[in-house]
Structure 1
Amino acid sequence: MTTERAGFPWILTVACAAALALLIGLGAWQVRRLAWKEGLIAQAQAAGLAAPVPLADLAALPDPEFRRVVLPCDFQNRPHVELQSIHDGQPGMRLIAACEGWLVDLGFVPETISARPARASAAIPAITAVVRRTDPPGAFSPPPRNGRFFARDAEVMSGALGVEAARPFTLYAEESAWPQWAALTPSPPPPAFSNNHLGYALTWFGLAIVLIGFYVALLRRRLRKSAS
């Protein structure tokens, strides 16, 4: 009685080779993402340590994000809009004003504070702010109502404040524009970066190694069966 000899598993080999190329490609992509993220973190740290630049020089920077800037505007006597927000688990609103064509987030005011301070007779000294990129709102973000915004829509906010061209950045005040108003809390968002790319890369490369082991074991079993 003769035994039918099985041929070489070409289909399995091609499928495993394609899967292996995909896993290695994903791992290499995560390695590149890791380098990019580390560069971004280094950029944010360097910008945070650099001296604040004059607001007039900000537009000339190729990428002003994370830079600190000096704001010369008198915010106590400028109009502002309110953005619904939550800070440290407390509902309230953030006051958004404009300064020389840039949107400025002056800080958070709790919802329990309904009164606003009177306009000041004298301007306070310039304050510093940090630049952060502003992503456009989602398609389902609610529109503003009665002067209050529910999404950080730079274009619409700029129009409401009389700014001709909306920039994709917000300047977050580091100091209070109303030192006498304790309810206002300047709170720039920290430059938080999730840097899990090394773990993702190791996962993809680990799966590639598992796939190789699976293929070798299956191939050896197939060859032993063919030889018997």
Structure 2
Amino acid sequence: MSEPVMRRIPWGLTIAAGLALVLLLSLGIWQVQRLQWKEDLIARAEAAASADPRPLAQGAPVPFERVSLTCPATAGRRSVELQSIHDGTPGVRLITACVGYILDLGFVAETISARPRLDGPLIVTAVAREAHAPGPMALPPRDGRFYARDNEAIGAALDVPAVHRDLTLYAETRAVDGFEALQPTPPPAAFSNNHLGYAMTWFGLAIALVAFYLVLLRRKLTS
């Protein structure tokens, strides 16, 4: 390339375009990696959901795993309530501690004032879900009722060891016979998987950036 042409190349724009291109490609590659991770997570969740439950006594569960467990009879077993809505009906989730884990027994409608006795042994099949910290706008507990699923606070209230507060066990079967108002309703394993679309967006912007730069460069060199 001749020296006059070299002088006419917009080096500032070229460097800026090169840095932007590297950033866009990096974001696209990152989304491809996230896509692979999410697809693996979905596959593991589906496999765990279709597997037979295993006894919790065999070891700590992993997220989405189904387990069977027996909570020994305990006089004055404590529980807390979490404000919730199920199928458009307001109510509470009844939550207790079982063999060192947080156990969500299910939903009770707001119109039901009675609560089941939890002193006896509780025999349930449950599914493990990973707990996430509540958002900054979450309301604090009041009068013994929680308004956000804060496993740290719930675990502390129920004396659940900190090492197990990162999981919640959601009952799939009714733990208390004769209390039909208690509905064991584990949340669905719902995943959003938009990473392919995000990756295509970043790669598309990278292509558009290269095309835009080449047009500007051609105009600069021919003017």
TM bin, normalised by shorter chain, reads: 0.7 to 0.9
Deviation at 1:187, TM superposition (A): 1.0
- Equivalent residue, structure 1, for 2:187: 189
- Cα deviations by residue, 1:144-175 (Å, 9 ceiling, x for unpaired): 22221112222332232233445210000001
1:8 to 1:163, Cα distance in 2 relative to 1, 3 A = closer
* C-alpha distance in 1 between matches for 2:121 and 2:25: 60
Q: Which moved more, 1:76-85 or 1:49-58?
A: 76-85
5+ residue gaps, structure 1: none
Correspondences of 1:57-206 after superposition (within 5 Å): 57-59=58-60, 64-73=62-71, 78-118=77-117, 123=121, 126-165=123-162, 166-206=164-204
- Cα deviations by residue, 1:193-227 (Å, 9 ceiling, x for unpaired): 110000000011111111111111111111111xx
Q: 2:57–2:69: 8 Å Cα contact kept in structure 1?
A: no
5+ residue gaps, structure 2: none
1:118 to 1:98, Cα distance in 2 relative to 1, 3 A = closer
What is the TM-score when the length of structure 1 is the normalising length? 0.86
* C-alpha distance in 1 between matches for 2:133 and 2:115: 29
What is the TM-score when the length of structure 2 is the normalising length? 0.88
Partner amino acid for 2:157? A
* C-alpha distance in 1 between matches for 2:65 and 2:49: 6
Deviation at 1:76, TM superposition (A): 9.7
Q: 2:81–2:94: 8 Å Cα contact kept in structure 1?
A: yes
Q: 1:76–1:178: 8 Å Cα contact kept in structure 2?
A: no
CA RMSD in angstroms comes to 2.3
Q: Which moved more, 1:155-164 or 1:88-97?
A: 155-164
- Equivalent residue, structure 1, for 2:51: 50
Q: 2:128–2:168: 8 Å Cα contact kept in structure 1?
A: yes
The alignment-based identity, stated in percent, is 57
Structure number with greater Rg is 1
